[in-house]
Homo-oligomer: A and B are copies of this chain.
């Protein structure tokens, strides 16, 4: 049986979450759920399905000890509903304890290497992305937000790590890639391990929330943490994985590379509605058939809109699932309902986000000063 290779730069989906667990050693989240006082919707709805060493972070939360939450998002455009999930997780895990510090890398080096966006282009997008995550609830007082390309610590760590890896190691993890992508992978290991540098408080648990397809970066970082343990004292980074949303157009993965596959947080409510009304669904060919066999929420991107983002609560998700599979709910009415929820959400998000441009600029400036004041 050939291994499924995860491609962090691809547009493919993850086909088999159970296999990820058995083949790559990702552990299920379920057994740790009782440790959360107020589980996030991602946890209670099984969206965050896997983890590595999550317990180490929860131990720090319980003991009121410092920990970090670190993730990166490419500034290739507005947050879409896929990237929002990573942002939601950063916000949630920051909120678990006053000792939680968020490091958010605006991955402009990767955006350049993978998507060809210039640093000028991405620095403009970055401000809007930061305003988005602030509107999603990030506490700026415990957050460091930086552009990868301006962060000497990350670039230096990437350089250090380049000596600790072999080409064979990189090929085994990522397949044969051009050097630009290998370099951006090393910088991402730099992002992930930076919070443990002595000048930033030294070794500590670091949780990296990511989509399931990003696990190769986690494996590389954990490997490097071990290789450089003696020199830096790194604790292996922890990770939590969310499922990938189904794409609205029926393709494999919601992606900024295909405009009709996704809704961004920038979308005008009317445009979003149109995309939803023409979206692929898990419905049957005829009404008669759907009444008889029921719809298939497991392959339906419209159901994913409820489950991943817009249902009022967990019960609402269950109701939709139940009514759909039971043939009670047809696609038309289901789309109408979620369209209303999306419109309301976007209008409110835009209001919040527009009020936060200045805060976003301040946070970036404050973070820049903070990092450069912490000499190596």
Contact = CB atoms under 8 A, between A and B. Distances in A.
A155 B119 CA distance: 13
Contact of A179 (B116, B149, B162): B162
A328 interface: no
Contacts of A152: 149-150, 152, 155
Interface string A148-174: 011010011001101101110010000
A9 to B, nearest CB: 13
Which of the four size classes fits the interface of chain A? 20 to 34
Interface of A: 109, 112-113, 116, 119, 149-150, 152, 155-156, 159-160, 162-163, 165-167, 170, 176, 178-180, 182-184, 186, 376
Quick one: which of A113, A150, A156, A176 has the most chain B CB within 10 A?
A: A156
Contacts of A113: 159, 162-163
Quick one: which of A109, A113, A178 has the most chain B CB within 10 A?
A: A178
Quick one: which of A149, A163, A186 has the most chain B CB within 10 A?
A: A163
Contact of A159 (B116, B178, B183): B183
A210 to B, nearest CB: 22
B112 A160 contact: yes
A162 B376 CA distance: 26
Can you tell how many copies of this chain the complex includes?
A: 2
B159 A170 contact: no
Contacts of A163: 112-113, 116, 178, 180
26 contacts: A109-B159, A112-B160, A112-B163, A113-B159, A113-B162, A113-B163, A116-B163, A119-B156, A149-B152, A149-B159, A150-B152, A152-B152, A152-B155, A155-B155, A159-B183, A159-B184, A162-B178, A162-B180, A163-B178, A165-B178, A165-B179, A167-B176, A167-B178, A167-B179, A179-B186, A183-B183
Q: 4 closest Cβ contacts across the A-B interface? A: A162-B180, A163-B180, A155-B155, A162-B183
Nearest to A160: B112
Contacts of A186: 179, 183
Nearest to A185: B179
A254 B59 CA distance: 56
